[in-house]
Structure 1
Amino acid sequence: MRPNVLIILVDDMGYSDIGCFGGEIGTPNIDRLAAHGARLTNFYNTARCSPSRASLLTGLHPHQTGVAELVNNDGPGGYPGSLNDRCATLAETFRAAGYHTHMTGKWHLANEREQPSDTWPTRRGFERFWGTISGAGSYFQTTTLHDGETPVPLSALGPDFYYTDEIGAHAAAAIREAERPFFGYVAFTAPHWPLHAKEADLAETRGAFDEGWDVLRTRRRQRQLDAGICAEDATLDRRDPAVPAWDDEPEQKWQLERMEAYAAQVRAMDRAVGAILDALDETGQRENTIVVFLSDNGGCAEELRSDPEGAEQFRRHHLIIPPSAPDGTPMKVGNTPEIRPGTADTYTSYGRAWANLSNTPFRMYKRWVHEGGIATPLIVSWPAGGVSETVLDAPNQLTDIAPTLLEATGAPALTEREGIELTPPSGRSMLGLLRGGPADEHDLFWEHIGNAAVRSGRWKLVREYEGPWELYDLTTDRSESHDLSTEKPDLVKDLSERWQTWADTVGVIPYGDVLAARAAMPTQPA
C-alpha cells in the first residue's frame, strides 16, 4: 500500500526550541514523533519563510521558482514573488499520482493575497485548502483566511478562535476524511510574531525562564550533548555582542513576558501537532504515513518598531494586522515595556536575545545564511518504511525532501504542465540514509538578500551581503567561531567559484540589481 505523506512546517522557530533538540519549553507531541523516527542535525532551510516554502514544495532552489525573498513583485529586474509556471509543487505531483491533497495554514507564495490567482494553493495542486494567503497575522483576528477560495471574514471567527488550534483541527479533519492515500501539508504560523497566546498556555510558561538567557543557553547546550545533537561539531558560541548579560538587563520582567508568550505559542503548536498525530492513530494510518517536521528558518531577531512613524507604517499593512483590537480599541504595536505581549490588542516580537537562545548553539538569525539562520530541526518518521529511530548528522537541505518523498512513494516527478516543460527537482533523495544507509554527499548552496554560502563536506564558505567570505570547518566549529579564510585561500577560491557556478545555473540575481529594481517599483504591502 502506498504511504501517506504529511509535512508539518512551523514558522520562525529556532533550532533548539523543541525538547528533542534541547529546549525546555515542553513539546511532548513533537518529541513523541521524534522518538519513532530520525532526527537530522545537519539539515538546512533557506533562511526565510517564503523561499523555504517554495523550495520545500518544489524541490528547487527558490530562485528557480520565482520566490527568492518574499512575495513582492520587484519587476523586470527582480523576482516576481509568486510561483512561476516552470515548477511543479508536491501537491500537483502527488495529485497526478492519484493522491488526495490537502493543505491547512500559511501559504505565502503569491503576491496577490486577496483575489485568487494561478499561484494560490487551490490552483497549484491542493484539492482542499483552509488557511491564510499572507505571511504573518493575528492569531485571534486572522486576516487573508480562506476556505478554498472563499474569504472567511473576521466576523465568522467567534470569540474562542485561535489560529494555531484551528490549523490543527482542520488538518486532523482532512486526515479523517481522506478516502485514498493523501499528501497533507500543514503550515503553522506559530511561533512567528505577533506574540499572541491563550491565557491557559501563558499560565503554563510563567516562571520557566526566570534564570535568564545565559543560564538557559548553557543548559540547552548540555541537553543537546546528552542527546547526541551536534555533540562533536559545535561548541556554544559566545553570547551575541548586541545582547547584554542577563544580570545587566534592566527590563527583566518584560523580557520574561516576551519569552513566556513565545513559548506559549510553541506549546500551542505542539498541542495542535498532537491533534494531527491522534487523527493518524485513530484512522490506523500512523504506521504507513511519512511525517516530516521542520522549521522554515532560524529564530527571528526582528524588533517591531513602536515609534509613531514605525507603528503607522506597520498599521498600513492591513493584510497582516487588524485595524483595531477585538474591543475596537487601537492596536498597540511595537516592542517596549509599556506593551505587554500575549493579548489580542498587541503586536510584539520576542527580540534578539531570546532568538539567540532559540538558535543554541549557533550564531546569527533568520535572514542570514550562517548556521543560526538556516539550521532547522528535522524529524522524519515512517514506522512501516524502515526509517531508523536515530540521530543522523549528514548534511542535507530543502531541495532533498521532494526527491526523498517521490522515491518513497513511487510517484513520478511531473515533467510538463499544459505544454510547458517543468524544471526537475535538483536535490538528492535521503531515503537510503533514513533507512540506515550511507549519506549521499553533495554540495549545498544558499543565497538570500545577498547573503551567500556553500557547504562542501566539512567546509562551509559564507558571507554577509557586501562582506568578505568567511571559511569554517563545521566538523569542529559548527558554531562558526573561527574564520579560516586567510589560512586557506585556495579553498576559499575553489568554493567561491563553485558557488558562482551554482548561482548562475539557478538564476540568482545580484542583490544590488534586486534593490535597484525594487526602488523603481511602486510601494507594495508586506
Structure 2
Amino acid sequence: MAPGETGASVGVPPGARGYERFGGRVAEFTSQSEPWWPASPRPADAPNVVVMLVDDLGFSDLGPFGGEIPTPNIDALAGRGWTFSNYRTAPMCSPSRASLLTGLNPHRAGFGYVAHVDPGYPGFACELPADAPTLAESLRAGGYATFAVGKWHLTVESKLHDGADKSSWPLQRGFDRYFGSMDGFTSLHHPHRLISDNSPVDVREFPDGYFLTDDLTDRALGMIDDLRANAPDKPFFLYYAHTSVHGPIQAKDADIHRYRGAYDAGWDAIRRERFARQQASGIVPADAVLPADDLPDAAGIRRWDDLDADERALFARHMEVYAAAVDEIDQSVGRLTARLSELGELDNTIFLVLSDNGGTAEGGPSGTRSYFAQFGHDSDVPADWVRDVPRDPALIGGPRVFGQYPAGWARVSNTPWRSFKSSTYEGGVHAPLVVSWPDAAARPGLRDQFVFVADLAPTILELAGIPPLAARGGMPARPVDGRSFAASLSDPEAPGRQAQYFECVGRRAYVDGDLKAVSPLQPTVDEGAAGGAWELYDLAADPTETADLAASRTADVARLAARWRDAAWANTVFPLDDTGQLHTVRPESEAVLSEPVFLPARRPVLERFRSARLTVLRSFRVTADLLCGPDAAGVLVAHGDQGGGYVLAIDDGHLALGYNAYGDLHRARSLAPIGGGPHRIELALDELDGLRWRVAASLDGSEVAVIDAVPMLLGMCPFTGISVGYDYGGPVDWDQYERHRSYPFTGGDLRGVTYLPGPRSAHDPTVLRAMDAAVAALAD
C-alpha cells in the first residue's frame, strides 16, 4: 500500500478503541500491547539539529534552486549537503508545521487548515493530538536541549490569550525554551505580540532600527551560548521558524537599497532567467515546459510589457523588498553557521532549510500596501472598497506599510510550477529543501527522490540515532505516516516515496509514482468525495502540469480519485468544506471572549484574537473614568497599528481621535480642551451600511469628536491587540508616534477602560455550537 493508506496511517489499527478528552474534543487512539519505555540514552557525539523553516518561500527563490537573489550561506549548505528537487509539503503553513513536527500527515496531525478555524472535527482541530509526540519531545527524551524561535502557528487562535489552556504551546510540546510570535505572522519592525517561553514580553515600544529577524537570530544564538556555558557536550535541536517572507513583506532599508533596480526587467524576464538556470543545473528536467500565461490559475497576471511606467515602478519595488527579506533569511543562516563554526560544531550539525508551502498570490494582480484590506477575511466587501491605499512606494518594506507583492512575482517565486500557496498544483506544494551534515559519510549532491514533509521527523531521528517516543501522556503514540529518507543521502538511487494525498479547502490531489490527479475545485455534495472535475498529469513527461490527460486516460483518473478518497478516509480529511461550515462553526466556549471586560492600564498588550472578539464585525463601546490634572496627556486606548486600527488620546489638552483605515488615516479633535477633574470618556463605534463604522468620542455624555463613516476593520485587523494607557508596538497614527513615541498617559489617574461589545453584524457568519457538551456526552 502507499504511504497514507496503511492501517497505521489511519491511526485505528485493529484492536480496542478508546477516547481521550483534550482541548474540548475526542481524540481516537488504539490500545497497543507494547509497553511504554523511555527513549534510550543519546549516542556518543550525537549531532546538533537545526531546522530552518521559511514562510511562503517559493521553490526558485534560493540560489540552489535557480534564484538570482544572493544566498551565499544557503548555497554553502547545499554545496556540502544535498539539494532535494522533488520535496513536497502541504499547501498551507500550519498543516506543514504540524506534519514536520509529528511525522503525521497534516489532517491526522489535526491541521487540515491553518490555526484559525475550530469546527469540531478531528482533522481540523488546529491542535496537535495528545497522543502524537513531537520531534522535540522525542529528541529531548533522547538527551537533547530543545529550542524554538519564530512563528509557532500550531495553537488554535482562541487559545493564544494569557488565560488559555497552554497545552499546545511550544514549552508544553517539547521545547525547553521559546521566543517568537505564536500567531501566523507579524510585523517585522513592530511585532504585534511576542512570547518568551509561556509569557508575553512586556515591552511598551521598540527601539529605532528594531527588526524581528535579527532578534530571532540573536535569541537563537543566545540559547546556544547559554547551553554551551553550562553543558558543553549536550546536543541541541533548534527549530527556527522564520516569520519572513509571509506578508506583510518587510525588510531593512539597507538591504532593500541593494536591490534597487534589480527587478526593473519585470516578472516575465526574471521568470525565464530562473527557469533557464534550473534546467542548466538539473533542478528541473531539460525538456520541461514553462507553464503559459493563459492557464485558469494564472491569477489575472498581466504581461510586464503591458504595464504602465508607474505600475512597473510600484511592482518592482514590491519585489525589491521581497528579495531583501530573502537575503535577510540567508544572513540568519550565515550568523548561525559562523557561531557553530566558532564552537567547532558545524561539521556535526544536521542543518535543514526548507519552505512550508509555495509562494502566495494573496497580494492579487497588483499587490497591495493595505494587506488587511484584502487578506484574512471572507466578507463580501462593497464595490468601492479600497484594497490598496495609495502611498509612496518608497515606504514599502518599512514599518509604515503592510504590503504584499503582486501575483506576478509569486509566479516567479514558484518557477517553474503552476499556481500558488493553498493550491494542490505543484506551485502550492513543491518547495525547496536543503539538507547539510558535513560529518555524514556520504557525498553531497542533487537528489530527486519524492520526499514529503511528514518524512522529515523520522529522517532526523534516524540520523540523530534517537528512537521516537513510544507513548505520550500515558497513551501509545499513534503510528506515524512519514518514512525516513536517510538512505538517499548516501545512495542517489534509493527509493523515495511512492504516493501521497493532498487537500486544502476542498482542493484535492493524489500523486502515485509519475501520475498526479488534481481536482482544483471541491466537489459538490451530489458529486461525492471522489467526484467533481479531475485533471491528470504525467509528471515524468510533464513535471509542470501543462498537458491534462484526463480525457484520454479516464481509467487512471478514476483509480487515482478512488485512492484519494481512501486516503482521505484514512487520514480524517472529511468533511470537505462544501457548506462553508469549517470557517463559520466554532465552539460555544468562545462566547466568553466576547463578554464585557475591564482592561487595566499599562499592562502588556491584549492578545489579537481576544481583542478581536470584542470589536470585529460588531458595534462596541469603550468607556473610561479618569481624573485629569492640568497637564494630562497621552493615549487612553489604542487598538491596531499601521495596518489598521483606532486610538484615543488626550493631546494638547484636547480629546484626539485617530482611525487608520488600512493605511488611510482619519482624525477628529474636540474643539474645547477637556479641562481638569474627573471625566467619563466614551468611544463608540457603530455599524453603518456597507461594512462601515461611525466613530465618535464623547466627554461626559456629549459627543466632541466624530468621524462619520470609515471602512470597518475586518478579519485579522486590527492585528495588534488592545493597549491601555499607551500605544503598543506599531502605532495607529504615525505622526503622533513621531512626536510622542508610545505616548504613555501621564498627568492623571487612568485605572483602565471597559469594553462593551454590542450586537454582531449581520455580515458575521459565525455560528457557535455546543461542541463541548456533545463531546462530553460521547465520552460518557
Instruction: Please say whether Structure 1 and Structure 2 have the same fold, judged by a TM-score greater than 0.5.
Output: yes
Residue 293 in structure 1 maps to residue 353 in structure 2:
yes
Q: 2:240 aligned to 183, 186, 191, which one?
A: 186
Question: Aligned equivalents of 1:454 and 1:184: distance in 2?
Answer: 32
- Match for residue 269 of structure 1? 329
Q: How far off is 1:183 after superposition?
A: 1.1
Seen in structure 2, the aligned counterparts of structure 1 residues 518 and 181 have a Cα distance that, compared at 3 Å, is same
**Structure 1 runs not aligned, ≥5 long:** 316-332
**Structure 1 contact 130–147 (Cα < 8 Å) conserved:** yes
**Structure 1 contact 334–347 (Cα < 8 Å) conserved:** no
**Structure 1 contact 432–438 (Cα < 8 Å) conserved:** yes
Q: 1:450 aligned to 503, 506, 512, which one?
A: 506
Q: Once structures 1 and 2 are overlaid, which stretch shifts more, 75-84 or 57-66?
A: 75-84
Aligned residue type for 1:388: R
SS in 1 for 2:439: helix
Question: Aligned equivalents of 2:436 and 2:374: distance in 1?
Answer: 45
TM-score, structure 2 as length reference: 0.63
Aligned residue type for 1:512: D
- Match for residue 329 of structure 1? none
Aligned residue type for 1:446: F
Q: How far off is 1:514 after superposition?
A: 7.2
Q: How far off is 1:307 after superposition?
A: 11
* Per-residue Cα deviation, 1:130-167 (whole angstroms, up to 9, x for no partner): 11100111101112311111212442532221011111
Question: Aligned equivalents of 1:174 and 1:168: distance in 2?
Answer: 10
- Match for residue 547 of structure 2? 482
When you count strand as a share of all residues, which structure comes out higher?
2
**Structure 1 contact 298–374 (Cα < 8 Å) conserved:** yes
Aligned residue type for 2:270: L
Q: How far off is 1:454 after superposition?
A: 1.3
Seen in structure 2, the aligned counterparts of structure 1 residues 486 and 185 have a Cα distance that, compared at 3 Å, is same
Residue 248 in structure 1 maps to residue 306 in structure 2:
yes
Q: How far off is 1:13 after superposition?
A: 0.8
Question: Aligned equivalents of 2:515 and 2:566: distance in 1?
Answer: 18
SS in 2 for 1:195: coil
**Structure 1 contact 442–456 (Cα < 8 Å) conserved:** yes
- Match for residue 363 of structure 1? 418
Residue 113 in structure 1 maps to residue 175 in structure 2:
no
Q: 2:494 aligned to 438, 463, 473, which one?
A: 438
Q: Once structures 1 and 2 are overlaid, which stretch shifts more, 493-502 or 432-441?
A: 432-441
Q: Once structures 1 and 2 are overlaid, which stretch shifts more, 466-475 or 513-522?
A: 513-522
**Structure 1 contact 107–135 (Cα < 8 Å) conserved:** yes
Aligned residue type for 1:146: I
Aligned residue type for 1:10: V
SS in 2 for 1:114: coil
Count of residues in correspondence between the two structures: 510
- Match for residue 228 of structure 1? 282
Residue 470 in structure 1 maps to residue 535 in structure 2:
yes
Aligned residue type for 1:338: R
Q: Once structures 1 and 2 are overlaid, which stretch shifts more, 359-368 or 109-118?
A: 109-118
Residue 282 in structure 1 maps to residue 342 in structure 2:
yes
Seen in structure 2, the aligned counterparts of structure 1 residues 514 and 295 have a Cα distance that, compared at 3 Å, is farther
Seen in structure 2, the aligned counterparts of structure 1 residues 453 and 90 have a Cα distance that, compared at 3 Å, is same
Residue 311 in structure 1 maps to residue 373 in structure 2:
yes
Seen in structure 2, the aligned counterparts of structure 1 residues 306 and 218 have a Cα distance that, compared at 3 Å, is closer
* Per-residue Cα deviation, 1:309-336 (whole angstroms, up to 9, x for no partner): 9639979xxxxxxxxxxxxxxxxx9535
Q: How far off is 1:425 after superposition?
A: 1.9
SS in 2 for 1:215: helix
SS in 2 for 1:498: helix
Aligned residue type for 2:391: E
* Per-residue Cα deviation, 1:82-107 (whole angstroms, up to 9, x for no partner): 22212111111101111110011100
- Match for residue 323 of structure 1? none
- Match for residue 101 of structure 1? 146
Question: Aligned equivalents of 1:24 and 1:76: distance in 2?
Answer: 45
Question: Aligned equivalents of 2:161 and 2:576: distance in 1?
Answer: 28
**Structure 1 contact 143–154 (Cα < 8 Å) conserved:** no
- Match for residue 328 of structure 1? none
- Match for residue 405 of structure 1? 460
**Structure 1 contact 175–279 (Cα < 8 Å) conserved:** no
SS in 2 for 1:402: helix
**Structure 2 runs not aligned, ≥5 long:** 1-44, 378-385, 523-531, 591-611, 614-714, 717-780
SS in 1 for 2:204: helix
Q: How far off is 1:513 after superposition?
A: 5.7
Q: Once structures 1 and 2 are overlaid, which stretch shifts more, 99-108 or 167-176?
A: 167-176
Q: How far off is 1:431 after superposition?
A: 0.5
Give the alignment of 1:347-386 within 5 angstroms: 347-386=402-441
**Structure 2 contact 369–402 (Cα < 8 Å) conserved:** no
Seen in structure 2, the aligned counterparts of structure 1 residues 282 and 232 have a Cα distance that, compared at 3 Å, is same
Q: Percent identity, aligned pairs only?
A: 38
- Match for residue 188 of structure 2? 139
- Match for residue 269 of structure 2? 215
Question: Aligned equivalents of 1:261 and 1:113: distance in 2?
Answer: 30
* Per-residue Cα deviation, 1:26-78 (whole angstroms, up to 9, x for no partner): 11111111111100001011011111110111110111121220112423247
SS in 1 for 2:501: strand
Give the alignment of 1:192-203 within 5 angstroms: 192-203=246-257
Higher RCO (CA 8 Å, separation ≥ 6 residues): 1
Seen in structure 2, the aligned counterparts of structure 1 residues 314 and 476 have a Cα distance that, compared at 3 Å, is closer
Seen in structure 2, the aligned counterparts of structure 1 residues 152 and 339 have a Cα distance that, compared at 3 Å, is farther
Residue 81 in structure 1 maps to residue 136 in structure 2:
no
Q: How far off is 1:173 after superposition?
A: 2.4
- Match for residue 155 of structure 1? 204
Seen in structure 2, the aligned counterparts of structure 1 residues 314 and 232 have a Cα distance that, compared at 3 Å, is closer
SS in 2 for 1:302: coil
Question: Aligned equivalents of 1:259 and 1:133: distance in 2?
Answer: 27
SS in 2 for 1:511: coil
**Structure 1 contact 58–89 (Cα < 8 Å) conserved:** yes
Seen in structure 2, the aligned counterparts of structure 1 residues 249 and 337 have a Cα distance that, compared at 3 Å, is farther
Question: Aligned equivalents of 2:202 and 2:392: distance in 1?
Answer: 27
Seen in structure 2, the aligned counterparts of structure 1 residues 40 and 265 have a Cα distance that, compared at 3 Å, is same
Seen in structure 2, the aligned counterparts of structure 1 residues 510 and 75 have a Cα distance that, compared at 3 Å, is closer
